[in-house]
Amino acid sequence: MIILTGGAGFIGSAFLWQLNLLGENNVIVVDALDSSEKWKNLRGHDFNDYWDRRTLLTRIAEDKLPAVRAIVHLGAETSTTETNADYLMENNYRFSRTLAEWAVKQGVRFVYASSAATYGDGSHGFSDDPRELTKLRPLNMYGYSKHIFDLWAERSGLSKSIVGLKFFNVFGPNEYHKENMASVVFKSFNQIRETGRIRLFKSYSNDYADGEQLRDFVYVKDCAKVINWFLTNPAANGLFNLGTGKARSWKDLATAVFSAVGKAPAIEYVEMPIELRDKYQYFTQASLSNLRRSGWNEPFMSLEDSVKDYVTSHLAKADPYL
């Protein structure tokens, strides 16, 4: 049995899709569907049961879990604009600790989601070397809630027995419920349909022209493959960046979307909300040295190929879901 938290979410449902492709359906999905559209991410996928977080915690406390071989913990509050620090600490930090401690004690494989938001403005680089952890200064509370768990895992020694994945700018199918937190690829596709143009934020840094801000964009289907690799390679443990290792500009991204829909680029640069300007990352690029040393040697899809697959195989379809 695999327990998959966040299994109805963006990356979680993509990983469930990957498991099903490999013939695995003995999965308990743990999530909070509430009144969102996340339930649509589960249609067409095969799994054993659905629980909410309270059910999972109760069964752990009462020692009533079935035989579990792995916990893939992708559930979290992922909004970078969430300001309720107590909520983020309880949901992203305390809950993660409970699951990690139980998994290690039981000898159960544990893979969890960290984030590139832990790197802050990037002034200390993007190395996933654990010796660099204390230097990092996240720019928002979401990033800090992820960072403090990474720190705890390292200081407690559990990082030697578990896997943390620092996801960079992930995009792809099943992100549709994320609304304002959905990727620029998704937003751009819909902007082209509605106006024929794509709107990107202006730059407020002298080091970057408008549209030349750089991010490490990684396709969710590649992420799902990496998660599965760690699930099946228990000798590989620690904290790992999960990006392509190659930064690309927002202009490159927009141009790839236009190419995928067969239109000439038409980009408009708009003002960034004031509240985001001092929390904005102008450059991210994953160092993949740890990931490659772990044994993962598969190539990542290029930005152009992954955007084309997302647009033509999903966004342009009547049913865009995995």
Taking 90 as the threshold, does the pLDDT of residue 275 lie above it?
no
DSSP reduced 3-state for 207: coil
Q: Which residues are catalytic?
A: 142, 178
Taking 80 as the threshold, does the pLDDT of residue 80 lie above it?
no
Tell which CATH classification among 1.10.3720.10, 2.40.37.10, 3.40.220.10, 3.40.50.720 matches the domain 2-171+216-246+284-301.
Answer: 3.40.50.720
Q: What share of the chain in percent tops pLDDT 70?
A: 100
Mean pLDDT of 77-88: 83
Q: What DSSP assignment string belongs to 17-52?
A: HHHHHTT---EEEE---TTSSGGGGGTT---SEEE-
pLDDT at 278: 84
Ordered by start, the domain boundaries in the chain are 2-171+216-246+284-301
Taking 80 as the threshold, does the pLDDT of residue 175 lie above it?
yes
Confidence of residue 316 (pLDDT cuts 50, 70, 90): very high
pLDDT at 36: 86
Taking 90 as the threshold, does the pLDDT of residue 34 lie above it?
no
Mean pLDDT of 137-155: 95
Taking 90 as the threshold, does the pLDDT of residue 279 lie above it?
no
pLDDT at 77: 84
| pLDDT averaged over every residue in the chain | 95
**Residue 258, CB half-sphere, CA atoms under 13 Å: how many?**
16
pLDDT at 276: 85
pLDDT at 277: 87
Q: What DSSP assignment string belongs to 162-195?
A: SEEEEE-EEE-TT-GGGGGGS-HHHHHHHHHHHH
DSSP reduced 3-state for 69: coil
